[in-house]
Amino acid sequence: MERGSFVLGHQLTSDQLDARILNYPTITVPERKHTLNTTPVGIDRAILFDDGAYNNRDIQLIIGFEGKQSNSNIQKFLSALDTGKYIDFQMYSDPDYTYQVIRQSTGTIARPTYSDSYRELTITLSSAPYRYVEPAQTATITTNQSTLVNPTKYLAKPYIRIVGDGAITLTVNGVDYKFTNVTGSIELDSAMQNVWRINGGVMVNENAKMAIGPFPTLKPDNNTVKVSTGTATIEPRWRTL
């Protein structure tokens, strides 16, 4: 990516907005979630409970918008962020990763006295703690065992689509995930803990067709995957801090 460039939501680019990131983005390291119990008597430290998760991180940006459409393009940028859900965001400063961002803070829009057609937006975005490896490689899985290599040191929570009918077992690292009465296809998102299928463009809840238990995850290094019948496509969502 060129210096100062960015992509928001895989669609809106800095070139389309005549915009560039002016600073080297300041990105905080996410805080680990811990709970400390300080009530026990007779011990020399608080009892630590690790929640196994992280708080969001902040990304501080200064973005310059050029041209007569600068005000309009700022509004396009803000509108793309204000959807009520996380939006993918890639920056020139970290081109091999995608951040998932939302806007929670206010921003400031400044106009230098020397230009009527230039604006600078200073804003802090809230980002989900993990950043995701880009580009995301999708793997096709069959009844023959395949190996997926997680290049990071963190557990991945994949999106999986299985095509087939009837009873299907997805095996990940020797653990069986069983599905019953599959009709054409079934999809699952380990991050969202949800199972569904698409029927005529409509999402149909299929959680009852997956045996109760944890959703599949992909550990660091090698992961073995296969299906008992049909095929599966896996978007592994490799992630790191």
Rg (CA), the chain: 22
Q: Which of 23-27, 35-39, 69-73, 83-87 has the lowest mean pLDDT?
A: 35-39
Domain boundaries, the chain: 6-133, 139-240
What tokens appear for 206 in the block?
């299929």
- Indicate if the alpha-carbon torsion angle 217, 223, 226, 232 is positive or negative: positive
Q: For the residues 174-191, what does the mean pLDDT come to? A: 95
Q: Which CATH class is domain 139-240?
A: mainly beta
What lies within 8 Å, CB to CB, of 150 at 6+ separation is: 156, 218, 219, 220, 221, 222, 223, 236, 238
Whole-model pTM: value is: 0.86
Confidence of residue 136 (pLDDT cuts 50, 70, 90): confident
What tokens appear for 75 in the block?
């509004």
pLDDT confidence of residue 25: 95
Confidence of residue 19 (pLDDT cuts 50, 70, 90): very high
pLDDT confidence of residue 135: 85
Report whether pLDDT(78) > 90: yes
209-234 per-position pLDDT tens digit: 999 899 999 999 999 999 999 999 99
The average confidence (pLDDT) of the chain is 93
Report whether pLDDT(165) > 90: yes
CATH of domain 6-133: 2.40.30.200
147-163 per-position pLDDT tens digit: 999 999 999 999 999 99
Report whether pLDDT(102) > 90: yes
pLDDT confidence of residue 137: 86
What tokens appear for 138 in the block?
């999708």
Contact present, 25 and 15 (Cβ < 8 Å): no
6-133 and 139-240 have identical folds: no
